[in-house]
């Protein structure tokens, strides 16, 4: 079993770490937050652009309220590869089709200072990847544990 | 088996080290970059801007691959970010 640490400092404000996203056209590093209050896993629109994926391939989904403003949600028809570093120094890889969220506002001045930089790992990802969340904030220990073979696909 | 030239283990170790560095130095970063987006690479701020897209342009002008850096917005001292999905 592999564990992905979710606390990396002495005074954690959230359950977070860094992932690597990979498409056929590129890769990006992205901080992620595990949010058990979110039913879906969300990726910021501009990160998908940085992966050089084609906007025309997106399929509009329902709207989402996020960080205080309305976001348009899109489904991407092809899966994206997610990579996570485990506590043993190896990595795990998982294919997943997240929801891509784009702020409804189009004015760059309004948008500029309010861009989501993190990926939100929601319950769908935990369920699909058979992840178990362990969280003991008092002891400063939190991790995701899964049963995917090391360095292999699910 | 990953394709030639793509080393996820190395990229992840680099990213996680930068993330730990960000967390451990957050207060110092807040003093310098509160309210701005910062790009971190090899435990160093390699660019900052109040505009996310401006930061991407800055990185491009410096020949830095945005896929290689870690980008985070530094919260102001009294600011709390709640996603509220």
Compute the average pLDDT of residues A20-27: 90
Q: What percent of chain A has pLDDT over 90?
A: 47
CB pairs under 8 A between A and B: 110
State the best of B5, B10, B14, B16 to mutate against chain A, taking most chain A CBs within 10 Å.
B16
Rounded-to-10 torsion of CA A60, A63, A65, A71: 40
CA distance B16 to chain A (A): 6
Write the CB contacts of A35 (distance below 8 Å, at least 6 apart in sequence): A120, A121, A122, B83, B85
The pLDDT of residue B80 is: 75
Alpha carbon distance A37, A110 (integer Å): 27
Count, residues in chain A: 154
Q: Which fold has domain A2-146?
A: Cathepsin D, subunit A; domain 1 (2.40.70)
Interval A106-118: pLDDT, tens? 665 555 556 789 9
Contact B84 A46 (CB under 8 A): no
Contacts of A87 in chain B (CB under 8 A): none
What is the bridge-based pairing of β-strands A26-34 and A99-103?
unpaired
For residues A44 and A101, the answer to whether their CB atoms sit within 8 Å is yes
For residues A142 and A131, the answer to whether their CB atoms sit within 8 Å is no
Alpha carbon distance A44, A76 (integer Å): 12
Give chain A's mean pLDDT: 85
Given a cut of 90, whether residue A46 has pLDDT beyond it is no
Radius of gyration of the CA atoms of chain A, in A: 16
The pLDDT of residue B8 is: 94
Compute the average pLDDT of residues B28-43: 96
Contacts of B66 in chain A (CB under 8 A): 28, 50
Interval B51-71: pLDDT, tens? 888 999 999 999 999 999 999
Point out the residue among B6, B24, B81 whose CB comes nearest to the CB of A9. Answer: B24
Tokens of A66: 């996020």
For residues A144 and A131, the answer to whether their CB atoms sit within 8 Å is yes
Tokens of B83: 């996603």
Contact A50 B67 (CB under 8 A): yes
Q: Determine which of A78-82, A123-127, B14-18, B32-36 has the lowest per-residue pLDDT on average.
A: A78-82
């Amino acid at each position: 079993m592999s564990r992905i640490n979710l606390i990396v400092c002495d005074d954690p404000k959230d359950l977070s770490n860094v992932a690597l996203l990979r498409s056929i056209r590129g890769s990006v590093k992205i901080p992620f937050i595990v949010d058990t209050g979110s039913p879906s896993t969300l990726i910021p629109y501009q990160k998908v652009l940085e992966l050089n994926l084609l906007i025309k391939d997106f399929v509009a989904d329902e709207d989402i309220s996020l960080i205080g403003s309305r976001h348009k949600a899109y489904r991407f028809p092809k899966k994206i590869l997610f990579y996570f570093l485990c506590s043993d120094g190896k990595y795990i890889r998982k294919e997943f089709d997240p929801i891509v969220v784009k702020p409804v506002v189009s004015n760059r001045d309004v948008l500029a200072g309010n861009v989501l930089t993190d990926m939100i790992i929601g319950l769908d990802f935990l369920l699909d990847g058979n992840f178990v969340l362990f969280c003991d904030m008092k002891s400063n220990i939190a991790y995701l544990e899964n049963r995917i073979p090391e360095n292999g696909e699910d | 088996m990953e394709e030639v030239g793509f080393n996820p283990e190395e990229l992840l170790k680099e990213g996680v080290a930068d993330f730990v560095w960000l967390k451990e130095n957050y207060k110092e970063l807040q003093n310098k970059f509160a309210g701005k987006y910062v790009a971190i690479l090899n435990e160093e701020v390699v660019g900052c801007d109040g505009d996310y897209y401006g930061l991407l342009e800055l990185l491009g002008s410096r020949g830095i691959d945005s896929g290689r850096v870690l980008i985070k917005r530094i919260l102001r001292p009294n600011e709390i970010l709640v996603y509220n999905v």
